[in-house]
Structure 1
């Protein structure tokens, strides 16, 4: 599983990345978490509001920081 965190590197984006990594760890998942800060890549995905999270290429969250429980639900599918 590939989890991408899209954002400019702002505190909200960093917090989202931290939460997603913690959720992966707590679930014992082998998912890889990547940070995407390239604005062209963000625009190409059609993301209007960051932070945004994509799992296996599909945008599952945009414009907010997930709670740890929400992050786990997103990972579990």
Structure 2
């Protein structure tokens, strides 16, 4: 028996549509949480421009680019 429903690859949940205003979930606290989890898993502590780079990378992962939206 071949069930195509269970064989299908699930659709990706991300990226999300770009919010109309600021997304209250995208905070410095979120970045701090991600940085702390990374450090607990053996990655170096963020320093200097790492914070801005993490914010940019997370933004690109979470939200569609404005060209797509």
Question: Would you call these one fold, judging by a TM-score over 0.5?
Answer: no
Max radius of gyration: which structure? Answer: 2
Q: TM-score, normalised by structure 1?
A: 0.29
